[in-house]
Structures are given as C-alpha cells and as structure tokens.
Structure 1
C-alpha cells in the first residue's frame, strides 16, 4: 500500500522537523505528543521556520500555507489509527520506545510501517516487541531536519525488503539522501561522531588544551564547520553520554568508555545549549 498519511510521534525539535519536511513534501501529517505544550511549541517552531523560508525566498506564501494545511496535531495516541507510516521521535530510552511500539502495534492497521528515529538503540529489539517485526525499521534523520540532507535507513534483523523499499521511496520524496545501515550500536553516524566528541572531551579533561583551542584545531586544521565541543553542546551532553553508554555496553570495548568529565557535566545539569551551560555558556 502507498504511504499517504504519516504520523510523527514526539513534537520536540526532531519530531517537529520531521513533521515539517513530510508536510512540505505533500504528505498528510499528524504530529502527536502527550503534552499539549510540546505540540504547541512544535507547531510554532514549524510556523517560524516556514515564515523565515518565505522571507528568504526559498518558498512562496502559497507553499507555506499548503504545508501548514497538511499538518494536524493531537495529544491522543488513539488518533494515529489511520497512519500508513508512523515515525517515532520520542526520548532516547529503549524501554520507553518498546512500550510505545507495543501500543502502536495494537492501534494502527496491519499494513502500517513503524519507524524509529533512534540515533543509537537496537531496532531489532524494538521490532521484537511487536507482532509486525518485518514492518519495523529505523529512519535516523540528522538535526536540524529541514536543513540536513542525510537519513540513515537502518534495517532490523527482521525488516523485510518491501518495508525497506517503501522507506527508501519516502526518503527520496522528502528530498533526502539515504544510506543503508545494518543494526549495530550507533549505526554509522554516531559510531564515528561520538567517539570523536568523547576524545575531544578527554583532551580537555587531561589538560592538553582548552575547550576553545580544541574546537579551533578541528575547525581550522580539519576544516570542520563546527568544533566537536560546540557540536556536543548543540546535540546535548546528556544525549552524548547516553549514546556513548550504548556504544560501550553494546561493544564491550574500552575505547567507547565515556569521559568522566562528560559524566560530571551531565550530573551537574550542564547539558549544553538547551540548559544554558555546557562546554560554553549560553544566554
């Protein structure tokens, strides 16, 4: 069956971004979250981004209005019952995701594909709690979703070819570039990125260089658009720690051991930009 209606669960930064690009690409979209404030904030964010795009001449007012007309919201999980594709973008916690997928499995039609935007968690394990493991797959969008072109499509051990092909088609319709990844901790993006960030934190922890100098080395010496510690602040240090713990547990290799300084910052509530303080201080 053709994918026509997409439900995005979780109205945070990732979920609202996914909902926006789906609606801009012509899909009917329901943005669902249990928290009305989160839904309102997500829609306000989409509206602001579309308005900015109009002001910069990237889209027209007609395109903006069309996108918004295809977006609906809900705080009731039962409203997802007509979805052809569900994309989950809730908190990066395996137990939460497994419980949600069990609920979805009992609500949506038999043809519905269940996708997760997890950045590191085992999709094979998430698929196993449903009665449709062959229709469970990973769609790891990059942040910020409306700008970044890449989507990692992660096949669980159980994912069938039909499901993969449909998700590959949807990804193209979203004007994104996909890469196919097998289900191992961190996939590709975070298996490479997070150890680099962790090593940058160790460099500061061991007193080798300052935060600013580490970032300058990587920007001017390696031509990175953003230093790894600035990037860590934007991702969220709590998220970085969680992914490093997934890698460390998943591979049992000491090279993935989270830096003690990263753990200490998270314990202090210094999560980065979203909390106002991380490796840098934000107004």
Structure 2
C-alpha cells in the first residue's frame, strides 16, 4: 500500500503539491472545506494529467494511476490517523495556519510541514505539542514545473525532521535548499524586495511594466520579470508577504501605495484577469 500524504488546502499551491505527490507514488488526500473548490481542483489536475499524456511527458497508464491515488475530503476529522506526511497549504494568515496545524497534529504524522512563504516557522510551531516534527516546506508556483523547494528549519526542528524533509523533496523531484527560520526565508525576502522596487518604479513613472520586466529578463537573464511574476503570484499574496516582512524588517518592505490600491480595486493579477498586465484564460495578453 502506498504511503499516505495529506495536503490541507485545495488552492493553487495545495493542489499542485497534491499533483506532484501523487505522481511520486503517494496516496494523496487533499483536504478542502469548500466542496466547489475541491471539485475545481480535481478538474484542474485532471486537465494537467491529460496535457502531460497528450504532450508525451507522461505515460497514459502512469497518469491514470497517479490520478487514482489522489482523493479529496472536506474535513481532517474524516481521515485516518498516522499519514507519513501532512503539508498545510492554506492562506498566509498566522491564526488560520495555527488552527489548521493544531488539528493536523492530531493525525500524528511522521512529518508535519507548512507551505508558508513568509511566516516564521517558530511562530507557527509555538502551538504544537511536538514542534520537533515540524518544519517549513516552501514550494513554488507552478509546483509541477518549479524545481526549488525551501526547507525551513525552525528553532525546535529535529535533525531527523530535516532529513525527512530533504528525502521528501528528492522523491518529489525537487532541488532542496535548507534555510534558517526568518521571516521571508531566502527566496521570498529577495523576491519581494525586487518586486516592491519594481512597483515603486511604475508608481514613479520610471518606465512601463513591460520595459521594467524586459530589463530583468534581458539584462539579468531572469526567466520572468518581477511585475509579471507579481501578477502570476497574485498581488494580494505579494501584499500580505510585504506586510509580514515590514513587521520584521521595517519600512524597506513597506508596500507601495500602488500595490495597496490595486489590491483594493480587485486587480490581483492573473487570477482576476488584470494586474500589471491583462490575462485571458491564464495567459498574458500583449496589447498593441
């Protein structure tokens, strides 16, 4: 029988984690309290598997077996205890994550992790009975194609837990890095700093979003410019991370007025169809 891996949260990140885990041979239980969102996640992943087969990246039988290994539930209480791994992937709100992690710990997993991109692991571990079995696993979007996985070691994380997280990363086909517990870790701290400065440049009319992004893609060989990446991540997500980092490091991470205004107006990037660029069916539209 396949090892069990539980993912809590059926959004973009949670469903992506479930997809790569099912492909890696885990029996995946994706927990999403919203039934409609759970159905949407399954439909998205089914389309992803179909595309993998159609483009020759995955054998049809392997894709079907992986799809069969992923199921959904609407409550943690419905799941049997003692999975190998539980990964929390709910929105970036400290109290929400703490509540979910407390409930998840009752399943007695060998490894409990949070997919937080900016919240200190020690702050989340403070509510756990066994913080030594807890760490951060910061995946990147889209999970199925981004190789990096940040393993974040909290103040109480045991060496055996770190080893287990590294082994999991390799099994999922990721390239792990280990970072100490600090708000923003390594990737978000650097990425958000660049993104916020790019937004300030738009705000000051230094250059257009497209030209700022071209400066980084051609001048620094970034695969995607910081403003397009902000659209892909979600302006609301970037704002939440910036506010967390501002609390930790001061006003150098203060979110620009333009970012706050765009979020208030619902211009959240790719998921809303409008951010620094226009998006249709998930694809950036280049206006003439």
Aligned to 2:261: 264
- Measure the CA separation in 2 of the matches of 1:20 and 1:50: 9
- Choose the corresponding residue for 1:189, options 181, 187, 190: 187
Deviation of 1:46 after TM superposition, in Å, equals 1.1
Deviation of 1:251 after TM superposition, in Å, equals 1.6
1:218 aligns with 2:216: yes
- Measure the CA separation in 2 of the matches of 1:266 and 1:84: 38
Deviation of 1:113 after TM superposition, in Å, equals 2.0
1:126 aligns with 2:119: no
Aligned to 2:32: 33
SS in 1 for 2:129: coil
Aligned to 1:54: 53
Query: Following TM superposition, where does structure 1 have runs of at least 4 consecutive aligned residues deviating by more than 4 angstroms?
Result: none
Q: How does the TM-score come out when normalised to structure 2?
A: 0.93
- Measure the CA separation in 2 of the matches of 1:113 and 1:38: 26
1:16 aligns with 2:29: no
Aligned to 2:284: none
Aligned to 2:243: 245
Contiguous gaps of at least 5 residues in structure 2:
281-288
Aligned to 1:95: 95
Number of corresponding residues = 278
Deviation of 1:120 after TM superposition, in Å, equals 0.4
What's the CA shift string for 1:126-162, capped at 9, x where partnerless? 1110101111110001110011111000011110011
Aligned-residue Cα RMSD (Å) equals 1.3
SS in 2 for 1:215: helix
- Measure the CA separation in 1 of the matches of 2:69 and 2:279: 35
Question: Conserved in 2, the CA contact under 8 Å of 1:33 and 1:75?
Answer: yes
SS in 2 for 1:273: coil
Deviation of 1:43 after TM superposition, in Å, equals 1.1
- Measure the CA separation in 2 of the matches of 1:133 and 1:262: 35
Deviation of 1:108 after TM superposition, in Å, equals 0.8
What's the CA shift string for 1:146-194, capped at 9, x where partnerless? 1111100001111001111111111111111100011101111111111
What's the CA shift string for 1:103-126, capped at 9, x where partnerless? 222x312x5321000000111111
Aligned to 1:116: 114
Aligned to 2:75: 76
Question: Conserved in 2, the CA contact under 8 Å of 1:7 and 1:80?
Answer: no
1:86 aligns with 2:64: no
Question: Conserved in 2, the CA contact under 8 Å of 1:102 and 1:129?
Answer: yes
- Measure the CA separation in 1 of the matches of 2:145 and 2:216: 22
SS in 2 for 1:151: strand
What's the CA shift string for 1:67-114, capped at 9, x where partnerless? 012111111211334322100111111110011112222x312x5321
- Measure the CA separation in 2 of the matches of 1:257 and 1:210: 21
- Measure the CA separation in 1 of the matches of 2:196 and 2:75: 39
